[in-house]
Each structure stands twice: as structure tokens, then as C-alpha cells.
Amino acid sequence: AQKVTQAQTEISVVEKEDVTLDCVYETRDTTYYLFWYKQPPSGELVFLIRRNSFDEQNEISGRYSWNFQKSTSSFNFTITASQVVDSAVYFCALTTYSSASKIIFGSGTRLSIRP
Amino acid sequence: NAGVMQNPRHLVRRRGQEARLRCSPMKGHSHVYWYRQLPEEGLKFMVYLQKENIIDESGMPKERFSAEFPKEGPSILRIQQVVRGDSAAYFCASSAKRWEGTYEQYFGPGTRLTVT
């Protein structure tokens, strides 16, 4: 079975602080993709990143960075120098070769950035 | 290239009425997926369709819910005799192929259904 766990339900930090959102996944497949999505208060889903299971390189995009570690089945997301506009719900998600029709989402982490 | 389109964006129904949610996939995409997001929860897979075929409906409630993706026109998610518990955001996603080296689903803006 596949599963995504986001243990942090809510996080609140002051603007300009760094913040890390944790994501732990479970799958027996060796071929899978991991995702992060942002859902701002307006409600739409904003795609942030996709990472396949064969690429463990960390990625940086501006203030965002992702740390993929297969040894701990984690795909953590860090926002550096957070801004108020980063306030949103963030979802980690997984799709596997054996369940290619489905994306399995975590329950989300609500991030609030205080000015 | 227009993205995935969903309409209506907001839908209010009274208990017992029918709700019809439409999804037009991205141009060239023949695979459609529906997800439901209950308040304060993550998205849950409901159904996966290709043109004129239901491929996987393992996430669909057994009663009152149905989905179709006809040869022509948008995909429709239909909820009969809505109840308050159906209030949720319903997202549609589309993809070009089921699984490729660069697998990706593109999400629409969602339809917010409120049952009064």
C-alpha cells in the first residue's frame, strides 16, 4: 500500500524565518514520483515540484529547496527567508508505477507566515 | 494552450438535488482524473477515465456518484440526491498518457460544491 504522512498539521513562523515541511512516504514500488503542491487561500492547486525515485539529487529553486532521501523515505521541503505570500496549505503527494492512475496526497501542512 | 477547465467554479445545491460538475482536459489529453477534497483534508482520488471508458473507480462512493468521459465533450462527475457530507472541493486533472517517463497530471481550479 502507498501512503504519505505529513505529521505537521500547522506551522506558524515569523516572516524571514526559514521553515521546513516534513513528508514521509511509504511504497514498495521501486519506480515512483513525489510531488509538492501549494494551495493558497484562493483554493487552487499550484504545482511546485516533481521528483522521480531514481533521482536523489536535492533541488533548489529560489527560496525553495527539497531534500529527497530514499534511506528514510522522506521528501522534505524548506522555504528560506519566508514571506507572508508563502502562507498556504502545502501537500506532499506520491504516485507509483503500480498505481499510476492515482496520486496519493498527504493531509497537508498549513503554513502561516506572520509579518 | 489552455489548462484544465472546470465549471462551475462554485455550485450550491439543496439536499436531494443533483450536482453536475464538468471538466474539460487540456488539449491533447485523453486521460481524466477526479479528486475530492473534504474541508480541512487532503485530496482523495475518486475515479480515472479515458475517452468512453472508466479505468479505475476504486475511490468512488458506491451510491449516488457516477462519472463519464464521452467521445465528445467534457468529463462529467454526477452526484445524485446530494447530502451535506458531499460539500467539498472537486478537482479534475488530466494527462496525456497513463505512465511515461515524465508522468504528470495537470489540475484544474476545482469546483466548490456546497449543499444546504
Greatest Cα-to-Cα distance within chain B, rounded to the nearest angstrom: 44
Shortest alpha-carbon distance between residue B14 and chain A (Å):
23
Tell me if B49 sits within 8 A of B68, measured CB to CB: yes
Chain A environment of B59 (Cβ under 8 Å): 102
Per-residue pLDDT tens over the stretch A29-43: 998 999 999 999 999
Half-sphere exposure of B11 (CA within 13 A, CB side): 25
pLDDT given at position B98: 63
Given a cut of 90, is residue B46 above it in pLDDT? yes
Per-residue pLDDT tens over the stretch A73-108: 999 999 999 999 999 999 999 998 887 678 999 999
Mean pLDDT, range B99-108, rounded to an integer: 70
Per-residue pLDDT tens over the stretch B50-90: 988 999 999 999 999 999 999 999 999 999 999 999 999 99
What one-character-per-residue DSSP string does chain B give?
A: ----EEE-SEEEE-TT--EEEEEEPPTT--EEEEEEE-TTS-EEEEEEEETTEEEE-TTS-SSSEEEE--SSS-EEEEE-S--GGG-EEEEEEEESSSS-TT---EE---EEEEE-
Question: A32 and chain B: CB distance < 8 Å anywhere?
Answer: no
